[in-house]
Chain A
Amino acid sequence: MSPRFHAPYPGWDILDKWESPSFNDITRAVLRRRLTEVHARRFFTPAEWLAVQALCDVVMPQNDNPRPVPLADWIDAALHEGRSSGTRHADMPSPRDAWRQGIAALEAEAQARGADGFANLERDAQNAMLRDVDDGKVSTEHWHGLPPQRFFRNLVLAEIVAVYYAHPTGQSEIGYGGPASPRGYVRMQPNRADSWEAPPGDWPDEDTP
């Protein structure tokens, strides 16, 4: 596992195409809202908020991002608005209840490991704790009725990546082409790109065996 993250497409920003035929009016309107409308916390309590922010930081570390994506704010907004995915697992509470219970369980788990809360654990301990949660190695009663792995993967991870990679920052980082309407693409062959796509990428640390 490589500890550092190298962006393969430094300098590529899909927003540079804002005025180009790759963007249409509705896409501009949607992205304008995404970039500007960040709501103040409405769903989580102040105490939960610390843990949620720390959780987002561990799952998607953004210390190198000049414009970090406000992940926790978007999760809060989605929960506040009652956004639904179409599925409620019979062994899971509703998303709102699951998040509240899950955050309380993470806090309790961190306390069982000697910290005040998840936010106060060292980064390595946070990583180790989340791996344990994913493995179902949990020690507190707070998980009762909430399968740890399903909470962690299907709610926490799935929601964080859904926000991050819907954001121009996340999309530019991976060299995605971004919005593409009305203009799509012409060059479909491997190692070929249109002039309105990212130039060839570079993966310095990829050859980990």
Chain B
Amino acid sequence: MSHAHRPRAIDGQAPDVFSRDDTVPMRQFADTDEVDFAIVGTGCGGGVLAAKLAEAGFSVVAFDAGAFWRPLSDFASDEREQEKLYWLDPRISDGADPLEFGSNNSGRSVGGSSVHFQMVALRFRPEWFAARSRLGYAIDWPVDWREMWRYYDEVERACAISGPLTYPWGPDRGRYPYRAHEVNAAGQVLARGAEALGVDWAPTPLATVSAPRGKSPPCVYRGMCKIGCSTNAKQSVLVTYIPRALDAGAEIRDLAMVTRIATDRQGRATGVEYHRDGQSRFQKARNVVCAGYSIETPRLLLNSANARQPTGLANSSDTVGRYLMVHLNDAIWSVMDDEIRWYKGPPSMACCEHWNYIDDHPDKDFDGGYAFMSQGPLPTDYARTLVTNSGVFGHELRRKMALYNRMAGLKMVGETMPCADNRVTLAEETDAFGVPRAHVTYAHDDNDRRMRRHARAFMAQMLEAAGGRDLLETSSTAHLMGGCRMGADPETSVTDSDGRTWDVPNLWVCDGSLMPTGGGVNPSMTIMANAARIADRIKTLCASGTSERAHG
């Protein structure tokens, strides 16, 4: 069966993700059990937190609106079929530069967006955690970079990242757990261009194994990572932290959409209302954690408004939903003399962080940084980029697509500035559960435009230096960050540095929406490192009696 319409984690069993149709035992809780933690979302934030809290002995139920897949039997080599991994319920997209959601930035599965992410596993530059005080833009994180770097070590080990022996940028980092993959032809174009321009490049650290690991075989370079890895080489949250969470006694509730967080007369969270298998239910909990990512976490908090908090839960600062960020994702594509066949291997096997680590340069006319990577889009993905950016159709379209195997591309991941007006609110229209749809407003600022211009020029120069011709420029955005940012000041942030909301002591956020700034690298490792850190903070707070905790 290709679609999971009914929950699979039931009757004390959960899918064994390494099997075609087996199960593993799962501890289960009753709705009336007051569990220590009800976690909404099981992606990079929620999945990591669920595993670590369960391992620390807490009782945990983690909900996901998406299905619990067994990649070996559920994942087809087919872009259209695999849309089942994305959050396809419409969001209203508004503003001067409206965003694209769905396959562009939002997953809906146990394991979250990591099930279809492209596995690029980069770290923030240390200075970005103090962007305001050290670089003069945006805002500081309420966390020291050294602490974050320790947690990058932890999550990189947990995901067995394959990476180069030495990484050209930033402070020394230890060896990556697995050796780097052989760079494919598409990545070699970036390497050649970088060498011609005299800047560093690196084989991209990737969350797919280059040698066997437990039940994961090494990557077979089928290149369909963005539509789900059918071999389990990819070290997504689904095959790393979720099995750990189950082992440690957490319950995962798949196809369970949380619609509201309930509160008592004192304004404390008491549990979550959710829908599963046609039923409307309520799970009691001592603590509730929002981990639904930058659109759904604000949406849930806003929809949980009550008489005492009429503008949304934990929203006394009016910051819930604000400071939403994306990455600039503009690209340059070119025709090469060689047959590249960029469909082979993970899509981004070579990367360049040159402009992330440069502050004073006569050419650098923007704040923040950007990285860029080699590309390998699947056919419909590339075709959509082509037509939506250029409007090409007819024989000319077929001719351009017939150059598919000769194309190479460089695509940026560029930092945008946190801006209060880029935000999630609730629309009038409701979804099938009666929850107002998310209304998202987004506009770029001048800094974004300067960075985009700079990156396009630099990437074009590099592609030409590598022998590319007939350049095509395309524009887009990727990733979501912010929307419920953490901070040092309750007036301007939703949570403290532990992810605990300032307003409700037993309500937490633990996902990409916490990020105060976006950095110039793909966000998942930062989200996971932050979640791993928050898990340890919760353990410490509970040990010292400053947080809710059950006995057992």
Contact = CB atoms under 8 A, between A and B. Distances in A.
B405 A190 contact: no
B338 A84 contact: no
B323 interface: no
A132 B102 CA distance: 29
Contact of A88 (B92, B219, B387, B402): B92
Contacts of A176: 343, 379, 404-405
Interface in A182-209: 182-193, 197-198, 200-201, 203, 205-206
A23 B543 CA distance: 52
Interface stretch (A24-32, A41-49, A109-117): A24-32
A186 B379 contact: no
A130 B393 contact: yes
Q: How large is the interface on A (under 10, 10 to 19, 20 to 34, 35 or more residues)?
A: 35 or more
B102 to A, nearest CB: 3
A102 interface: no
Contacts of A200: 339
Nearest to B391: A134
A183 B222 CA distance: 8
B344 interface: yes
Interface string A150-194: 001110011001111110001101111111111111111111110
A77 B397 CA distance: 24
Contacts of A193: 339, 341
A8 B478 CA distance: 32
Given A26-B2, A60-B397, A188-B184, A181 B230 contact: yes
A174 B111 CA distance: 33
Contacts of B93: 87-90
Closest 3 CB pairs of A and B: A86-B102, A184-B220, A179-B77
A60 B398 contact: yes
A173 B402 CA distance: 7
B76 A157 contact: no
A21 B185 CA distance: 24
Main secondary structure, interface of A, reads loop
A6, A8, A25, A58 — most chain B CB neighbours (10 Å):
A8
A20 interface: no
A166 B403 contact: no
Interface string B47-71: 0000000000000000000000000
A149 interface: yes
Given A59-B394, A161-B383, A25 B188 contact: no
Interface string A118-145: 0000000001001100100000000000
A36 interface: no
A191 B339 contact: yes
Contacts of B90: 84-88, 94
A173 B383 CA distance: 13
Nearest to B219: A184
A29 B2 contact: yes
A5 B344 contact: no
A162 B339 contact: no
Given A161-B383, A178-B77, A90 B92 contact: yes
Interface of B: 2, 73-81, 86-95, 98-104, 106, 182-185, 188, 219-224, 230-231, 335-336, 338-341, 343-345, 379-380, 383-384, 386-388, 391, 393-399, 401-406, 439
Given A162-B380, A166-B79, A184-B220, A86 B94 contact: no
Given A2-B399, A5-B398, A86 B387 contact: no
A4 interface: yes
Contacts of B404: 174-176
A2 B88 contact: no
Interface string A79-95: 00001111111110010
Contact of A162 (B80, B219, B231): B80
A157 B391 contact: yes
Given A84-B90, A158-B387, A26 B338 contact: no
A194 to B, nearest CB: 9
A61 interface: yes
A165 B380 contact: yes
Contacts of B88: 83-86
A152 B388 CA distance: 9
Contacts of B182: 188
7 contacts: A30-B78, A165-B383, A174-B379, A175-B341, A181-B222, A182-B230, A188-B344
A40 interface: no
Nearest to A131: B391
A30 B75 CA distance: 10
A187 B339 CA distance: 12
A185 B339 contact: no
Nearest to A170: B379
Contact of B78 (A27, A88, A170): A27
Given A84-B90, A90-B93, A181 B224 contact: yes
